[in-house]
Amino acid sequence: MIEIASKIVLCLVIAAILGFIIGFLIGKATRKQQYASVPEKSSKNVGNIYNKPLIFSCPRPAGKDDLKQIEGIDSVIEAQLNHLGIFHFDQIANWSIKNCEWIENYLDIKERISQENWVEQAKAFTKPII
């Protein structure tokens, strides 16, 4: 009787070990397939998040500024800036060089902000008229 019970236990241990090995191999293959389907980079290159400029969730109660008054900003770029949370001239006027690089990188408009002087133009629009 003990001999039969020991054979059953031995068969159960061997089956458990084979089950663990097969499960490990199947899990490893499935994991490789999951990682292969994930793209390595997103479509937008956001760069260093610490260089992201000040953004708002919505415009101020007085309404958003017409950013198209800045030379180089068309309706498409204005819509992208609004979607990003940039609605006012003073937001653009306060951009640092790193902020400009982040926006250029995000919108994929290389060196347009510095070449077209967006920051200086925005500063001119924010100056009070006397």
Q: Which pLDDT score, from 0 to 100, does residue 47 have?
A: 60
Considering the domain architecture, whether residues 11 and 58 belong to the same structural domain is answered as no
Considering the domain architecture, whether residues 56 and 119 belong to the same structural domain is answered as yes
44 inside domain? no
Q: Which pLDDT score, from 0 to 100, does residue 41 have?
A: 46
Considering the domain architecture, whether residues 4 and 55 belong to the same structural domain is answered as no
Token code pair at residue 114: 């510095």
Q: What angle do CA 41, 47, 48 make, to 5 degrees?
A: 130
Q: What is the pLDDT of residues 36-71, one digit of tens each?
A: 554 444 445 556 676 788 788 899 899 999 999 999
Write out the residue range of the structural domain in which residue 18 sits.
1-38
| Count of Cβ atoms closer than 10 Å to residue 67 Cβ | 23
Closest by CA position to 71, among listed 114, 104, 125, 117: 117
Q: Are 41 and 73 in contact (CB under 8 A)?
A: no
pTM for this predicted structure: 0.60
Number of domains in the chain: 2
Question: At 129, which helix (H) or strand (E)?
Answer: none
